């Protein structure tokens, strides 16, 4: 049965890891602004061409409308 | 298809500004193939072009907003003031400083992109971060290479002028309550899952063989539940304690009792190995309770319900000392100071006009959009906005002593704000708690005859199982969902307590201008002889030259004219009227005294309506009668409301509209004219004293006192980003006719809460009947408590959504 004790301790450590990750996420402000990052992620990186970015947004806009 | 073609044709005909998408009046302002509607838009484009930021135009089509990017050179000079800088900066260390601004003109993803790429314009920006919903920009910049003033000037020059208001220096310390709630939910969720896992041997009744493990599991559960009890549960314990100290038994008292007994009895049972404890139930309970609070805390981020005059007034104003102009924070204004107010600037303190032509737009204050003319020597109250050329005034009262600001500072009833839990739940708790204590004691007394240990067990078991978590959950989930549904229908409420209050309304008080009338919309009729086509065209040619709102309205009323006549000697006398020589005839439009001379057509005495008289070659033609137009749906709204509610009207205006208003309002004695802001406030207070539950509908600053003192104050707003005074709710003007529907929905939500109460009380009856028999086992508690919570939560949210849908609100 002692294997259960080991398993429980492992599971607690994993769970605690997730708890810490969650607390860190809250602390770093990820729950404060839930909208802007969703827009920001669509901006292409600087080295890509402007026209390509335009296309992405054209698509986005046409989907919206 | 036909429509699309038409649109294309239209677009071909019109030249659209590359920056803001407005129509260009001419094709003279251009850079290569790009046309602009004004120099401002062109300038912004040039700045962006120069810094290779033209991607701005490819993210969204025509992302700019037309606004004045040319500002008075000294406008921001007050930002050089060291004290002020210190107050404005969030943080400053070494060369780095951080500041956050609200930027009202932020509206699309292009804005986000541009504002987050400011470093390309000036490398002094270390980082810039946008919070789109709150319209805030947080900037970190190098103080050595750019000053705060330059930062603001740069933002203003690209069309993103930050809002720097008087309250900016006070709002710095905003504690984020939601963040703490997330921590609490995280910890409670963690504890809930893990303690349940550790309780499995108990659930499956694998006890004898693994006694050693059970001990370890028990102690592990206790360790996990320490932060659960002391952190996640702290709010309920503190609130119950606070309630008791004020001799109020709120809903948190029985909750706290349940939590305390759950925790200590479990610790006792585990420590002395007499049982498995109820820690799993405790964790589940606190998890759901905190989740309920998160759900209830739904806030409309972009709206602000707490605004007072400080978020309305500018931070600084131009002051003239010995002929030299400089800027000064308005908090330092003293009576006797001479201030300069330019076009579109706000008058921050009561002052006497001594130089210039004042045309004050009081639309923020009264909702009336027509400017009022003031002559030198007259007092101008704070809150007005100058339109036209610059004026100079002498301050007679400090900002905090001004007529309007005093409305906020004095006479304000501090309404007891219930934190989260509802009034109804608290009312029930007043009877519920003693009843539970009585049952627990009675059961204990009964058992004490047989066995003292069973008696103690039964006593604690009753308090544990009676813990009214389902009861406490029904309000947040019902009301939280209701607030969302109403929010979708553009009726934004400050918090869930407002829904409960809406339910009790028996009196509705309307403001007139801007509330039941549509600001900026007028009904125009002409009184006099019918115009000939020739006259019509002449008048049209005249009014076309003026940008005064009345001229614009008349031009609109007259409609398209085929030909326009040559115009000369045009003159606009502000506050009086306009005149010009058209087709060799002297044409005048304006006030009665401006037109003067000969007899008037259909003149009735005691008529206070706005009129624009017209004369052609000294011959008076009659006048345009201009009335505010009432909002669509007003009549049906009032018919519905007056079925079971008293209807009042208070307005600062004269009686000009009285006969008209009587068509809508049932009772003449409840129409009140010539009411100052203080009168309005006192009127509401009188209604309150006669124990009426007043719903006040207002719009401008002059209603602020009345809104704050009424049982529920609702602001009617043309656009939600527009200024609205402190209130309990904001109703989008387009949804004004729907108000009755929303009030009925508030009533329905309340009924749902009552029904959920009944359901949760039934669970309590089941639980208590088991507990008094001394049969409460941990597994029974672990099943009953989450089941009751979840079923009540489901019932509350689903039934509000269902009923919302049936009423067409979803």
Q: For residue B747, with 0-12 CB atoms within 10 Å meaning exposed, 13-18 middle and 19 or more buried, which class applies?
A: middle
Q: How many CB atoms lie within 10 A of CB B330?
A: 25
Residues in chain A: 65
Buried-state track B427-462, b at ≥16 Cβ within 10 A, e below 16 = ebbeebbeebbebbeebbeebeeeeeebbebbbbbb
Q: Give the mean model confidence (pLDDT) for residues B164-170.
A: 71
> Which band of pLDDT confidence, cut at 50, 70 and 90, is reported for residue B605?
very low
| Packing angle, helices B423-448 and B452-465, rounded to 10 | 170
Please tell me which of the candidates A4, A27, A51 has its beta carbon nearest to residue B213: A4
A contact test, residue of B186, B193, B220 with most A CBs within 10 A: B186
d(CA B652, CA B381): 15
Pick from B172-176, B566-570, B720-724, B748-752: least confident: B172-176
Task: Measure CA of the first residue to CA of the last residue in chain A; give whole Å.
Answer: 61
Please tell me which of the candidates A12, A19, A40 has its beta carbon nearest to residue B186: A19
In contact, B362 and B319? CB cutoff 8 Å: no
Which of B637, B590, B613 lies closest to B738 in space, CA to CA? B637
Which of B11, B17, B727 lies closest to B303 in space, CA to CA? B727
Q: Do A26 and B179 touch (CB under 8 A)?
A: yes
d(CA B225, CA B231): 10
Residue B623 DSSP code: E
Q: With a CB-CB cutoff of 8 Å, which residues 21-60 of chain A face chain B?
A: 22-23, 26-27, 31-36, 39-40, 42-43, 50-51, 53-54, 57
d(CA B732, CA B699): 11
> Which band of pLDDT confidence, cut at 50, 70 and 90, is reported for residue A57?
very low
Pick from A40-49, B272-281, B460-469, B617-626: least confident: A40-49
Q: Which residue has the higher pLDDT, B699 or B448?
A: B448
Buried-state track B685-697, b at ≥16 Cβ within 10 A, e below 16 = bebbeeebbbbbb
Q: Do A53 and B132 touch (CB under 8 A)?
A: no
d(CA B130, CA B181): 24
Q: Do A53 and B61 touch (CB under 8 A)?
A: no
Cα–Cα separations (whole angstroms), residue B384 to B307, B351, B358, B730: 17, 11, 10, 22
d(CA B8, CA B495): 46
Question: What is the β-pairing status of strands B671-672 and B646-650?
Answer: parallel
A contact test, residue of B48, B113, B182, B195 with most A CBs within 10 A: B182
What would the pLDDT profile of B227-252 be if each residue is shown by its tens digit?
A: 999 999 999 999 899 989 988 888 88
Q: DSSP per residue over B175-201, as a string?
A: --HHHHHHHHHHHHHHHHHHHHHHTHH
What would the pLDDT profile of B346-369 be if each residue is shown by its tens digit?
A: 888 888 988 888 888 877 777 676
ipTM of the complex: 0.75
What would the pLDDT profile of B716-764 be if each residue is shown by its tens digit?
A: 887 655 566 778 888 888 888 899 999 999 999 999 999 999 999 999 9
Q: Which residue has the higher pLDDT, B307 or B200?
A: B200
Q: E strand or H helix at B321, and its extent? A: strand B316-321
In contact, B138 and A32? CB cutoff 8 Å: no
d(CA B727, CA B709): 9
Q: DSSP per residue over chain A, as a string?
A: -HHHHHHHHHHHHHHHHHHHHHHHHHHTTTTT-SSHHHHHTTSPPTTS-HHHHHHHHHHHHHHH-
The residue of chain B nearest to residue A8, with distances taken between CA atoms, is B198
Q: Give the mean model confidence (pLDDT) for residues B24-37.
A: 77
- Residue B52 contacts A where some CB pair is shorter than 8 Å: no
């Amino acid at each position: 049965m002692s294997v259960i004790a080991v398993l429980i301790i492992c599971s607690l450590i994993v769970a605690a890891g997730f708890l810490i990750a969650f607390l860190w996420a809250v602390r770093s402000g990820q729950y404060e602004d839930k909208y802007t990052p969703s827009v920001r992620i669509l901006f292409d990186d600087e080295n890509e061409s402007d026209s390509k970015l335009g296309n992405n947004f054209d698509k986005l806009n046409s989907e919206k409308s | 298809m036909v429509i699309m073609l038409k649109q294309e044709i239209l677009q071909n005909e019109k030249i659209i500004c590359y920056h803001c998408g407005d129509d260009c009046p001419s094709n003279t302002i251009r850079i290569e193939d790009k046309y602009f509607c004004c120099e401002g838009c062109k300038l912004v484009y040039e700045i962006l072009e120069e810094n290779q930021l033209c991607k701005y135009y490819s993210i969204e089509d025509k992302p700019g907003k037309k606004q004045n990017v040319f500002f008075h050179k000294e406008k921001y000079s007050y930002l050089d003031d060291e004290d002020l800088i210190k107050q404005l900066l969030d943080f400053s260390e070494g060369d780095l400083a951080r500041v956050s601004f609200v930027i009202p003109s932020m509206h699309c993803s292009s804005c986000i992109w541009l504002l987050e790429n400011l470093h390309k314009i000036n490398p002094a920006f270390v980082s810039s971060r946008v919070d789109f919903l709150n319209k805030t920009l947080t900037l970190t910049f190098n103080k050595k290479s750019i000053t705060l003033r330059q930062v603001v000037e740069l933002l203003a020059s690209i069309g993103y002028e930050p809002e720097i208001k008087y309250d900016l220096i006070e709002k710095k310390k905003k504690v984020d309550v939601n963040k703490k709630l997330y921590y609490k939910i995280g910890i409670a969720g963690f504890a809930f899952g893990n303690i349940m896992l550790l309780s499995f041997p108990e659930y499956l009744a694998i006890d004898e063989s693994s006694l050693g493990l059970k001990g370890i599991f028990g102690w592990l559960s206790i360790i996990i539940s320490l932060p659960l009890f002391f952190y996640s549960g702290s709010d309920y314990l503190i609130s119950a304690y606070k309630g008791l100290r004020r001799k109020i038994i709120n809903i948190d008292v029985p909750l706290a009792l349940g939590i305390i007994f759950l925790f200590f009895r479990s610790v006792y049972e585990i420590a002395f190995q007499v049982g498995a404890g109820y820690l799993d139930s405790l964790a589940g309970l606190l998890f759901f309770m905190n989740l309920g609070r998160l759900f209830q805390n739904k806030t409309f981020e972009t709206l602000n319900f707490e605004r007072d005059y400080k978020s309305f007034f500018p931070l600084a104003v131009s002051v003239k000392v010995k002929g030299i102009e400089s800027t000064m924070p308005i908090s330092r204004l003293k009576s006797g100071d001479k201030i300069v107010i330019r076009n579109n600037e706000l008058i921050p303190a009561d002052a006497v006009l001594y130089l210039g032509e004042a045309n004050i737009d009081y639309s923020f204050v009264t909702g009336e959009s027509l400017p009022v003319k003031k002559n030198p020597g007259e007092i101008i109250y704070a809150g007005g906005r100058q339109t036209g050329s610059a004026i100079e005034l002498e301050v007679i009262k400090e900002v905090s002593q001004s007529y309007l600001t005093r409305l906020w500072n004095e006479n304000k009833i501090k309404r007891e704000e219930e934190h989260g839990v509802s009034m109804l739940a608290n009312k029930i708790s007043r009877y519920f708690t003693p009843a539970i204590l009585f049952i627990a004691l009675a059961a204990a007394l009964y058992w004490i005859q047989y066995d003292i240990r069973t008696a103690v067990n039964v006593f604690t078991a009753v308090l544990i199982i009676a813990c009214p978590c389902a009861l406490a959950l029904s309000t947040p989930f019902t009301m939280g969902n209701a607030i969302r549904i109403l929010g979708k229908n553009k009726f934004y409420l400050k918090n869930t307590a407002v829904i409960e209050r809406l339910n009790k309304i028996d009196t509705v008080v309307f403001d007139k201008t801007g509330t039941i009338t549509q600001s900026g919309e007028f009904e125009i009729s002409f009184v006099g002889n019918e115009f000939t086509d020739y006259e019509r065209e002449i008048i049209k040619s005249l009014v076309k030259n003026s940008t005064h709102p009345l001229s614009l309205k008349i031009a609109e009323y007259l409609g398209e004219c085929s030909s326009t006549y040559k115009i000369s000697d045009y003159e606009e006398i502000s506050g009086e009227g306009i005149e010009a020589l058209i087709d060799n005839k002297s044409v005048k439009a304006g006030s009665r005294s401006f037109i003067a001379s000969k007899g008037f057509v259909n003149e009735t005495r005691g008529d206070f309506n706005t009129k624009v008289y017209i004369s052609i070659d000294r011959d008076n033609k009659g006048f345009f009668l201009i009335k505010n137009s009432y909002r669509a749906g007003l009549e049906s709204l009032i018919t519905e409301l007056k079925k079971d509610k008293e209807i009042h009207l208070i307005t600062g205006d004269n009686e000009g509209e009285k006969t008209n208003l009587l068509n809508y309002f049932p009772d003449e004695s409840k129409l009140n004219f010539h009411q100052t802001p203080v009168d309005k406030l006192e009127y509401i207070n009188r209604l309150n004293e006669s124990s009426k539950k007043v719903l006040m509908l207002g719009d401008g600053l002059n209603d602020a006192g009345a809104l704050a003192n009424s049982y529920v104050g609702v602001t009617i707003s043309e656009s939600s980003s527009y200024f609205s005074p402190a209130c309990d709710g904001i109703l989008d003007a387009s949804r004004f006719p729907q108000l009755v529907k929303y009030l009925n929905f508030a009533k329905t939500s309340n009924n749902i809460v009552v029904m959920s109460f009944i359901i949760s009380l039934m669970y309590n009856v089941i639980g208590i009947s088991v507990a008094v028999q001394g049969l409460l086992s941990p597994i029974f508690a672990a099943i009953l408590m989450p089941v009751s919570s979840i079923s009540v939560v489901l019932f509350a949210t689903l039934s509000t959504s269902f009923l919302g849908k049936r009423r067409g609100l979803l």
